[in-house]
Amino acid sequence: MMNPRRNLPIAISLLLPENAPSRWGDSVARAGQLLQPAWPVDPSHLTALAYIVYSTASSDRRAPAEVSPSDVLEAIGAAVDAPDSLAQSIKQSLIEAGHEDDFVGRQFSKLSALEYFEEFDDFSCTPPGPSLLARALPRLAIHLESIRAEELPPGPAPAGPFSLSISGLVHVVGRYGSMRGTFVLRCEVCQESKKSLITVRGPDVVIACNAGHVHRSPHLSAVHVRRAAAAHGQLALLAEATASNPVESISVKGDLEVAVPSMPEDADPTTVMPWAAANRA
């Protein structure tokens, strides 16, 4: 089965919350266009490139679409020995732009994930490697040196929203120490657990119970809901969804198993132990 995270339109959509300002949307689009010839790569490279495009466009007062590979290479060259300073200037750009607090808060936590180390398990004595940002910079540099931006086609549109209509229960699957554990998702208002509707828009997930109470659940992430839908054989349908052609409702007969947000992106809660999935990457 194709790994859903390797799809560039999906990776782009995961960077675009509903309240994203246009400058951020344009930066993600430019990053997608520049990285398209190298795809598939680690999705964190796309995130890092989008931040560099955003920060460069902000400091030079230019449109993100005008940021060239050589502009990005210049920023990478200045940061390759000091990725912390790059992260700092990206944060400064986000603060100075005057975006909504909610958007800036989400970007800061995403940026923090890039600055920290790649996931490592609780029981490993191996010291963590370089941060995702530090790993991305030299790889992005090699790629950007090899392309001519003026010859690139437009990047792909982000993957569109979709809904899953589940006739049974939603089981949330997690790893607790070395144990696999599950619990049933219930409505926060009426405790109903059957016949829910989960809607994914970019990185945002909302769940509606059978009585129509709608809320965001901290136990659901867009990437894992997509993974769960794929496990139900709906990947081809999801791949066709675009912003202008959303998949209105995918019917899931019976129960749906979804991995908790902290699990690896490609963890399949239906067939593998989370422990094995975490160590497979």
Sites for Zn ion among residues 224-253 (CB under 5 A): none
Contacts of 256 (CB under 8 A, 6+ apart): 164, 166, 168, 169, 170, 171, 198, 228, 232
Q: How many CA atoms lie within 13 A of 135 on its CB side?
A: 18
CB of 277 to Zn ion, least distance (A): 31
Nearer to Zn ion, 89 or 196 (CB): 196
CB of 194 to Zn ion, least distance (A): 11
Nearer to Zn ion, 106 or 213 (CB): 213
CB of 80 to Zn ion, least distance (A): 51
Q: Among 81-89, 143-151, 213-221, 236-244, which window interacts with Zn ion (CB under 5 A)?
A: 213-221
Quote the Cα angle for 84-85-89, to 5°: 120
Contact 140, 34 (CB under 8 A): no
Return the CA Rg of the chain: 19
**Which of 36, 213, 243, 273 lies at the binding interface for Zn ion (CB under 5 A)?**
213
Nearer to Zn ion, 95 or 189 (CB): 189
CB of 212 to Zn ion, least distance (A): 7
Nearer to Zn ion, 5 or 194 (CB): 194
**Which of 211, 214, 276, 281 lies at the binding interface for Zn ion (CB under 5 A)?**
211
Hey, what long-range contacts does 183-191 have (CB within 8 A, 24 or more apart)? 185/217, 185/219, 185/220, 187/211, 187/213, 187/215, 188/213, 188/215, 189/213, 189/215
Sites for Zn ion among residues 150-209 (CB under 5 A): 187, 189-190, 192, 209
CB of 209 to Zn ion, least distance (A): 3
Burial of 193 (0-12, 13-18, 19+ CB in 10 A): middle
Nearer to Zn ion, 184 or 211 (CB): 211
Nearer to Zn ion, 6 or 195 (CB): 195
Residue 122 CA to residue 258 CA, distance in Å, equals 22
CB of 168 to Zn ion, least distance (A): 16
Contact 72, 48 (CB under 8 A): no
* Contact footprint for Zn ion (CB under 5 A): 187, 189-190, 192, 209, 211, 213
